[in-house]
Amino acid sequence: MSNTVHHSVVDRENDYIHAGYGLKSWLLTVDHKRIAILYLISITIFFFVGGFFAFLLRLELMTPAGDIVSAETYNKLFTMHGVVMIFFFLIPSIPAVLGNFLVPLMIGAKDLAFPKLNLMSWYVYNIGGIFALYALVNGGVDTGWTFYTPYSSTYSLSNVVPVVIGAFILGFSSILTALNFIVTIHKMRAPGLTWFKLPLFIWASYATSIITVLATPVIAITLCLLLFERLMGVGIFDPALGGDPILFQHLFWFYSHPAVYIMIIPSMGVISEVVTCFARKRIFGYKFMAYAIMAIAIFGFLVWGHHMFISGQSVYAGFVFSALSFMVAIPSAIKVFNWTATLYKGHIEFRTPILYAFGFIGLFTIGGLTGLFLASLATDVHLTDTYFVVAHFHYIMVGGAVMGYLGGIHFWWPKMTGRMYNEAWAKFSALILFVGFNLTFFPQFVLGYLGMPRRYYIYPDEFQVLNVLSTAGATILGLGYIIPMVYLLWSLRKEKNVGTNPWGATGLEWTTQSPPITHNFEKTPVVTGEPYVYQEEEKVVE
């Protein structure tokens, strides 16, 4: 910061955004808050790339015939949509943006334990992204985001290698972030901040990091084996060459089922913060919430075989995986009940973040319950690879994870930028997101139940009405994603106007200025009380 010319400006704008100027100060930063912003930019780009593919997919499905793209192109579109959205948006979304920004702030630390690794993780992410984008402009990839062998290893003629390398590299960026969170949460909490005083967002970040650390290496080695097989022309997974394709599925889902929890658990953390804040009540059953998060993270590792009921897996294994899958419903239900109980008799303030939280709770519940249909052996045989599955996981991953992400962005935007967005527009877009989402995906439950298979570019005439509804919904949904972009960016033109704690929320991040200074706190905070002490307001009302 420096000289006399800007003196008055420097005095007024003493925060992490103004801690340095120029591109270099951002690209070489080790400040967790700036790295969060870098991630926000990167993943937003990938979100719109993935969204563009979704738009083309829905456009094609307007009519039963194939009129816009060929079958091959369609295969590439849904593959790239899945790869980009899952690996490049959903997995890093909340941890890398909100987590990076908030974890040190919420525990009263100056930074994450390993700031340089944190920056490295962003570069690793982008290198992985470049591989994926290269494959994209080079003709795409058509294996489905699951890269099932032997199609991916032997038969596909598309750009499997660069995409797989991209996903492999990307895994390291999640691992670095997760490792950083684990060590930071263990070792750098402010004095007095014991485990059961931590905000639930921290619990969620911790659980997510544990999953990332334990599961991501397995997909990394699996992709290595796939590359080896494809490049050397040997048969690790190819049955024609003595390999076993189901092994690939085991190893793949050992990661990819827990990966669903990497996407949803951080959202649960966000929703817990938002619900308790706007209900002006303590979170109901705090300890149960913390235990439930950890239980979901751990049970999540025992259920992967529910993706393989019809793959040739043993029926006994299928039975066990089915039973274990039902177990995950227990902690998930605990969370939903506790959010509801928190809202019950709360003095709910209807601001934008809680609208997203409402959306999350409802959509996640639908997604979770339809998941039980798919975890049941008998119904799954009928529903596997139909639009029912597509609808189910979009309810979890878009209705759940993305709603949580956007809710979190709206909740902490004033903290991140020091500005408040336009509340009317924000509420409006939250509403049309909810409507658009349901219009897009609810018809797909019906389509799947009626037997429409996923991953085809044409379909019988009788499915057209529902498909047109779905496409119409997707258009509204798309609009719902573009509007926030506009008003959030627009808010940056305003003066800083929010003060330290615009929502009257608890938590250490709301005790420092908005946006925070580079070292977060003027003085290391000392924590004495419980989390979520929203009692005072109630007393006022009494």
Partner 1 sequence: MSQHVIPQKVYYLVFVTLILLTLVTVDVAFYNFGFLNIYIAMGIATVKATIVALYFMHLRYNPRLTWLFAGAGILWLFIMFVLTIADYITR
Partner 2 sequence: MSNNSDSAVGHAHHFTDMDQQREASTLGMWTFLVTEIMFFGGLFVAYALYRSMYPEAFAEASLRLNLLLGAINTGVLICSSLTMVLAVRDAQSGKVKGLVRYLIATIVLGSAFLVIKAFEYSHKIHEHLIPGSSFQFAGPFGQQAEMFFSLYFMMTGLHAIHMIIGIGVLSVLLYQAKRGRFTAEYYSPIDVAGLYWHFVDVVWIYLFPLLYLVSRH
Site residues for partner 2 per CB under 8 A: 30, 109-117, 175, 179-180, 182-184, 186-188, 213-218, 220-222, 224-225, 228-229, 232-236, 241-244, 247, 250-251, 254, 519, 524
Shortest Cβ 152–partner 2 spacing (Å) = 16
For residue 487, give every residue at least 6 positions away whose Cβ sits within 8 Å of its Cβ, in sequence order, or none.
421, 422, 425, 426, 429
Report DSSP state, residue 233.
Answer: T
314 binds, among partner 2, Cu ion, partner 1, none (CB under 5 to 8 A by kind): partner 1
Q: From the list Cu ion, partner 1, partner 2, none, pick the one residue 305 interacts with, judged by a Cβ distance below 5 to 8 Å according to partner type.
A: partner 1
Distance (Å, whole) CA 389 – CA 68: 25
CB nearer Cu ion, residue 257 or residue 394: 257
Residue 517 touching partner 1 (CB under 8 A): no
Region 195-214 residues binding partner 1, contact defined as CB under 8 A: 210, 214
Q: How many chain residues interact with Cu ion (CB under 5 A)?
A: 1
**Which of 181, 254, 463, 532 is the binder for partner 1 (CB under 8 A)?**
254
Residue 453 dihedral angles phi and psi, to the nearest 5°: -75, 155
Helix or strand or coil: residue 453? strand
Least distance between partner 2 and beta carbon 237 (Å): 9
- Whole-angstrom Cα distance, residue 82 to residue 136? 13
209: which residues sit within 8 A by CB, 6+ positions away? 95, 177, 178, 179, 181, 182, 185
Nearer CB in complex with partner 1: 214/469: 214
Q: Tell me: does residue 247 bind partner 1 (CB under 8 A).
A: yes
For the CB of residue 317, give the shortest distance to partner 2 in the complex, in Å: 14
- Please, what is the minimum distance in Å from the beta carbon of residue 224 to partner 2? 7
Measured CA distances, 311 to 151, 248, 373 (Å): 14, 11, 18
Stated length of the chain = 542
Rg value, the chain, Cα: 23
305 or 368: whose CB is closer to partner 1? 305
239 is an interface residue for partner 1 by CB under 8 A: no
Question: Which of 14, 63, 73, 313 lies at the binding interface for partner 1 (CB under 8 A)?
Answer: 313
Report the residue number, 243 or 399, with the smaller CB distance to partner 1. Answer: 243
Name which of partner 2, Cu ion, partner 1, none residue 257 binds, using a CB cut-off of 5 to 8 Å depending on partner kind. Answer: Cu ion
**Minimum CB distance to partner 1 smaller for 127 or for 214:** 214
Q: State which residue, 182 or 336, has the beta carbon closest to partner 2.
A: 182
Q: What are phi and psi of 182, to 5 degrees?
A: -60, -50
Distance set, CA 143 to CA 103, 146, 157, 250, 357 (Å): 37, 7, 10, 17, 35
Of the candidate spans 26-34, 83-91, 162-170, 249-257, the one that interacts with partner 1 by CB under 8 A turns out to be 249-257
Instruction: Scan residues 287-306 and list those touching partner 1 (CB under 8 A).
Output: 301-302, 304-305
Q: For partner 1, which residue of 246, 333, 469, 476 counts as binding (CB under 8 A)?
A: 246
| Contacted entry of partner 2, partner 1, Cu ion, none for residue 117, CB cut-off 5 to 8 Å set by kind | partner 2
**DSSP state string for 381-446:** HHHTTBHHHHHHHHIIIIIIIIHHHHHHHHHHHHHHHS----HHHHHHHHHHHHHHHHHHHHHHHH
Q: In whole angstroms, how close is the CB of 387 to partner 2 at the nearest point?
A: 32
Residue nearer to partner 1 on the CB measure, 30 or 302 = 302
One-character DSSP codes across 30-86: --HHHHHHHHHHHHHHHHHHHHHHHHHHHHHTTSSS--SS-HHHHHHHHHHHHHIII
Which residues make beta-bridge pairs with 453? Answer: 386
What's the rounded Cα separation, in Å, for the pair 75 and 85? 16
The site partner of 406 among Cu ion, partner 2, partner 1, none (C-beta below 5 to 8 Å per kind) is none
Task: Check binding of 394 to Cu ion (CB under 5 A).
Answer: no
User: What are the beta bridge partners of residue 386?
Assistant: 453
Judged by CB under 8 A, the residue of 1, 71, 231, 317 near partner 1 is: 317
In Å, how far are 79, 80, 133, 268 from 139, measured between CA atoms? 12, 11, 10, 37
* DSSP 8-state secondary structure symbol assigned to residue 302: G
Residues numbered 237 to 266 that lie near Cu ion (CB under 5 A) are 257
Question: Does the protein bind partner 1 through residue 314 (CB under 8 A)?
Answer: yes
Span from 272-280, 308-316, 331-339, 521-529 in contact with partner 1 (CB under 8 A): 308-316
Of 342, 252, 339, 266, which Cα lies nearest the Cα of 297?
Answer: 266
What minimum distance in Å lies between the beta carbon of 186 and partner 1? Answer: 7
Which residue's CB is nearer to partner 2, number 450 or number 527?
Answer: 527
- Residue 331 tokens read as 């902690």
| Measured torsion, CA atoms of residues 151, 152, 156, 160, in degrees rounded to the nearest 10 | 170
Binding site for partner 1 (CB under 8 A): 186, 210, 214, 218, 246-247, 250-251, 254, 301-302, 304-305, 313-317, 320-321
